[in-house]
Amino acid sequence: MILWRAIVLAALVATAPALLAGEIPPDARRSGYFFMGPDTRAMQDDDTSNPGMLFVLDGEALWAKKAGSADKACADCHGDARSSMKGVAARYPAYDKALARPVTLDQRINLCRANHQQAAPLPYESHDILALSAFVAHQSRGVAIAAGDDPQAKPFVEQGRNLFMQREGQLNLACTNCHDDNFEKRLAGSPITQGQPTGYPLYRLEWQTLGSLERRLRSCMTGVRARAYDYGAPELVALELYLMARARGMPMETPAVRP
Amino acid sequence: MVRSIVHTAALIASLAFVADARAEGLAPYEITGDGIVDSLTGVPGDAARGRALVLTRTTTCILCHSGPFPETRFQGDLAPDLTGAGNRWTVSQLRLRMVDASRFNPDTIMPSYYRADGLVRVGRNFADKPILSAAEIEDIVAFLATLRD
């Protein structure tokens, strides 16, 4: 009996990375969708009323449009995104061997622009980068998130997890204080969710536009009166990677709608 | 019981005179027992101003707390309702809780409102400043003390 228990325990420890106190067990994870009212859900569910779909359509046009001095379109290398891009966003941020660090989908798009199209990078949060990443990530809608599996990405997942647990800012709060410990509660009347990254880039009614996961994380940092990391900063990428690894197996929703 | 043990342990560490005013501009204060007896400004606060402060979003209280504030729907529930706080705590305890709640519970999520050191990556506009001024804390303490059932 005792032996049997010891074996079960050992097996548990060996398979799942132990959850830290407060971390959400896999079967208790919920997308932000779950916390929204019926109107916002309906808006996300119906492609004809989901404002994010306009960006997806723009992204589809950009996919086929030649750019840069190489005069090549994304489609010239990748063909039909419906097959070539299916499941790709669910694995991002992904480890880049040449750079020896993880890169976000936005950064990958700009690497393609630099290396294969000889085109200038699209600025973070610009319409075109959001449209392209929404189009690419939309090809993964419904696909289970699988980021952070690459052994070389592990140290960066760990870095992101440490950042998630770290208190910061004048209010001295960590991501985990709200998104692991208090997701059933309300902050000044609005629901706190688990902070799952399943729907990005997504349309936020508060923003009146599509925005990236980095934009969201920066506003949480500003909310606790911390100095937000710059777009593309290694710390922000590590946090994104941890969030995606934490959401492992949850289906992608891009483009989601949030209040 | 458990609470009072944690309490005592936290307080023993801080029984000695605390010159926690290292960060510039903070008035020095003295912790006695589990509270701060003397007003941070030397004069009593104004409860009416304190109520208005608690209801101001930028003061952050009602992000987490609710209370006897029928005029606003936007109250949090991450923390106890403030109704009756004046029964549960003395003025001296309320003052220490506002100044540095972590002295009562090291893992608390309630920010320390009168502290400017030991924090990480504080935003440029907030660096080296406490969240509230000594006068604001006195006003809020005066208001909390009126919250009696």
What is the arithmetic mean of pLDDT over A243-259?
98
| Co-location of A198 and A121 in the same domain | no
Q: What is the DSSP string of B39-78?
A: -SSSS---HHHHHHHHH-GGG-HHHH---S-TT-S----S
At residue A189 the predicted structure's pLDDT band, cuts being 50, 70 and 90, is: confident
| Co-location of A174 and A249 in the same domain | yes
CB-closest option in B78, B119, B126 to A182: B78
- Mind listing the pLDDT tens digit for each residue in B57-99? 999 999 999 999 999 989 999 999 999 999 999 999 999 999 9
| Co-location of A149 and A251 in the same domain | yes
Q: Among A138, A160, A177, which residue terminates a domain? A: A138
| Co-location of A129 and A156 in the same domain | no
What is the arithmetic mean of pLDDT over B103-132?
96
- A11 by DSSP, 3-state: which? helix
Share of chain B above pLDDT 70, in %: 84
Q: Are A195 and B83 in contact (CB under 8 A)?
A: no
In whole angstroms, what is the distance from residue B113 CA to residue B53 CA? 13
pLDDT at B11: 38
**A184 CA to chain B: closest CA distance, Å?**
9
Domain of A202 in residue numbering reads as: 31-37+144-258
What is the torsion angle, in degrees rounded to the nearest 10, for the CA atoms of residue B11, residue B62, residue B26 and residue A171? 80
* Best residue in A225, A229, A230, A239 for a mutation probing chain B (most B CBs within 10 Å): A225
Beta bridge partners, A94, equal A103
B124 in contact with chain A, both atoms CB, cutoff 8 A: yes
* Best residue in B120, B131, B133 for a mutation probing chain A (most A CBs within 10 Å): B120
The total domain count for chain A is 2
B121–A172 CB contact, under 8 Å: no
B73 in contact with chain A, both atoms CB, cutoff 8 A: yes
Q: Is A17 a member of any domain?
A: no
CATH of the domain at A119: 1.10.760.10
Q: Among A73, A107, A138, which residue terminates a domain? A: A138
| Co-location of A163 and A219 in the same domain | yes
Number of Cβ within 10 Å of residue A164's Cβ equals: 20
Q: Is A16 a member of any domain?
A: no
Partners of A181 on chain B (C-beta within 8 Å) are 109
| Co-location of A107 and A87 in the same domain | yes
pTM of the model: 0.90
Q: What is the mean pLDDT of chain A?
A: 93
| Co-location of A149 and A118 in the same domain | no
At residue B12 the predicted structure's pLDDT band, cuts being 50, 70 and 90, is: very low
| Co-location of A169 and A238 in the same domain | yes
| Co-location of A110 and A156 in the same domain | no
Partners of B60 on chain A (C-beta within 8 Å) are 171
Tokens 């030649």 identify what position? Answer: A66
Partners of B126 on chain A (C-beta within 8 Å) are 169-170, 225
pLDDT at B149: 81
Q: Is A7 a member of any domain?
A: no
**B137 CA to chain A: closest CA distance, Å?**
16
| Co-location of A94 and A179 in the same domain | no
Q: Among A106, A138, A170, which residue terminates a domain? A: A138
Q: What is the CA radius of gyration of chain B?
A: 15
Which tops the pLDDT comparison, A241 or B4?
A241
| ipTM reported for the complex, 2 dp | 0.89
